[in-house]
Amino acid sequence: MIQRISAVVRKEVRHIFRDRVSCLLLFLIPAFILILLGYALGFEVLHYNVKVCLPPGEAAGERLVERLDGQPKLHVVGRIDGPDDIAPAMLRDNTRAVVVLGDDGGVDLWLDGSSPLLSMNGEVLLLPVIADFVSDEYGITVEQAAPEIRYCYNPTLKREYASLPGLALVAFMLVSCVLLAVSVNKEKTSGTFKLLRLTRLSSLELVMGKSLPYLLVAVLHTAMVLGACFLFEVPVQGSLLFFIGLCLLYSLCCMALGLAAAAWFDRPLDLLIVCWLFIFIPNLMLSGFVFPLATMEPSVRTVAEFLPGTAFLEAFRGIAYKATGVAENARPLLTLAGGFVVASILALIGFTRRIPR
């Protein structure tokens, strides 16, 4: 019996190390999950950019800046001249809060409400510092020194402002990337893809023909996102055409990623692992939807900023909540356009070389 069991064990060990998918599932994926959840992600804010508005010639204001900058997680990134500059200031330098010191010693705290979770984290970081400063400077109790808090772009901190961009991200990624990749893979495994390549269709024409129906579905999903914004009273403050263009550009980028995965991976299990673990989950978890970017380590945050999901969420919040234009959203738009171009080239190379006429 021991000999028979040993023979099966040897056979299974050879199978594990011979099969790339088995090795991936057994060794790389657990390590990936441990790194992702143990090192990269968390809810503790590691850096929070703040700007200040100080009365001219007020020495107490400089001491407030020193206290804010003295906190390891707070960074004073600039100053503004007056209250009219508060909202525009939050469009630059990734500013999340503005501290306004009045002539009478009162302090107002303005927070970026487009990300409610990050706003609440900002309150936890800033309120004790401001309260201690006012208490020490003006000799009042900490309870009396609590600043007045206001929120830009989302005055009532509606939770829909946080959930709608993420739900749109998931919908486009599932349909435009995962389902398109699975559909193309079914054509390959059933042999119909090779038969189509025997026709006069070029690789580009064949890929476009497979993709256009999913692009039409993406247009429908864009209309559904707009309907959800209307239903939950989250109006699009910026250009409606610009917002629709952003959704379609993100959908095209997701389609290109799905086609690239389908071009280079033939087995359905391999394709699903790539789509879910290396495209869908990173774009969901590292985009700032579940865990804010400010909670990530600098090295992880640098990678996250180049993901299509991160670019889509940043531009979505900018256009819909802050009425930003092309100039303010240049980086996320270039990220999506670059991802679409690179993934499209990889898909065309894969389809041309791996399935010849």
DSSP string covering 37-54: IIII--SS---EEEEEE-
- Residue 145's pLDDT band, with cuts at 50, 70 and 90, is low
Do residues 357 and 197 make contact, with C-beta atoms less than 8 angstroms apart?
Answer: yes
Distance (Å, rounded) from C-alpha 93 to C-alpha 273? 37
**pLDDT of residue 129 exceeding 70:** yes
Burial of 336 (0-12, 13-18, 19+ CB in 10 A): buried
Burial of 226 (0-12, 13-18, 19+ CB in 10 A): middle
Distance (Å, rounded) from C-alpha 118 to C-alpha 111? 9
Provide the residue type at 307 as one letter: L
Do residues 291 and 212 make contact, with C-beta atoms less than 8 angstroms apart?
Answer: no
Block residue for tokens 């990936």: 32
Q: Which domains does the chain have, with CATH numbers?
A: 48-152 (3.40.1710.10), 160-354 (no CATH)
- Residue 37's pLDDT band, with cuts at 50, 70 and 90, is low
Alpha-helical regions (H) of the chain: 2-18, 20-23, 29-35, 59-69, 86-89, 116-138, 160-172, 180-190, 192-197, 203-231, 240-264, 268-273, 281-285, 298-304, 308-322, 330-354
**pLDDT of residue 18 exceeding 80:** no
- Greater pLDDT, 197 or 49: 49
pLDDT tens profile 160-176 = 888 889 889 999 999 89
Distance (Å, rounded) from C-alpha 282 to C-alpha 284? 5
pLDDT tens profile 304-337 = 889 999 999 999 999 999 999 998 899 999 999 9
How confident is the model at residue 56, as a pLDDT? 78
Structure tokens at 5: 């069991």
Alpha-helical regions (H) of 77-115: 86-89
Do residues 112 and 314 make contact, with C-beta atoms less than 8 angstroms apart?
Answer: no
Task: Annotate 175-195 with b (16+ C-beta within 10 A) or e (fewer).
Answer: bbbbebbbebbebbeeeebee
